[in-house]
Structure 1
């Protein structure tokens, strides 16, 4: 595993990213933007499921935010992978990095539960969907905190 991680760090595009005065900060900024869009869309979607913003049509609002969250997650995944590649060996050895990846997997599993339980219509579905929405808020916020700890513990 150490060889694989060291190999990632030696890829040509990773060396360019490390050496560039401009590229790394841009990738980092795009990662922060993606996280901001992801968390904003998740929070607004979950709050709507929990009954906030009742004047907005439930199904259309949630569908829009779900698409936004997917796009933002894709951006965060791409930029996060690039940021990881620069110091793959170091990050992979950090327990907080493992915690962040675990939280992301749990948030993804929670989303799959949401997709199976969510109902269309104009009002929140209640029951299991309410629990899933609250759990989503907690999980994605925890992902954010874990990510910030990675930046300050290295």
Structure 2
């Protein structure tokens, strides 16, 4: 993965994003703040839906909760992609060789595959879950929560590695 990340860092430098991110005293802290806000929106939104699917708050309708909070989670994810690109551009060379950063990207990939599979398998049946979701859906929701929390944790650990 390192050659691909090194190439991405080189490209971000060539198009001017890397120098811009490194050249301003405000770009990195603002991007970092937006990245954290995106994480809160992502895990806060999808985490509540995941917890409901797992079995908490059974009085709340799963479909309506998902309809309300999934857009919040998607917005958070998009914020993280945009701000994460800036954060990576600011320190791409070091991050390209970071084992924790590579693991974080793999975990994010797995979380996205899990989310897509969940939508494909269960989206049309969520409205039928008045009390408890099927075992497979509960397992995927628990996996989702664990993967997103792991990605966030790995991201927070990168500066200390």
The answer to whether 1:127 aligns with 2:135 is yes
CA distance in structure 1 between the partners assigned to 2:119 and 2:7 by the alignment:
39
Q: CA RMSD in A?
A: 1.7
CA deviation after TM superposition for structure 1 residue 10, in Å: 4.9
Among 105, 110, 114, the alignment partner of 1:110 is 114
The answer to whether 1:17 aligns with 2:41 is no
Q: Deviations over 1:45-102 (max 9, x none)?
A: 1011112122222101012221111111000011001100111111011111110000
Using a 3 Å threshold, how does the CA distance of structure 1 residues 14 and 125 change in structure 2: closer, same or farther? same
Most deviating of 2-11 and 102-111? 2-11
Among 72, 78, 89, the alignment partner of 1:74 is 78
Is the 2:111–2:147 contact (alpha carbons within 8 Å) kept by the matching residues of 1? Answer: yes
Most deviating of 11-20 and 95-104? 11-20
CA distance in structure 2 between the partners assigned to 1:103 and 1:151 by the alignment:
18
SS at match of 1:120: helix
The answer to whether 1:65 aligns with 2:69 is yes
Give structure 2 stretches of 5+ with no counterpart.
none
Give structure 1 stretches of 5+ with no counterpart.
none
Structure 1 residue ranges (4+ consecutive) displaced by more than 4 angstroms after TM superposition? 1-4
TM normalised by structure 2 equals 0.87
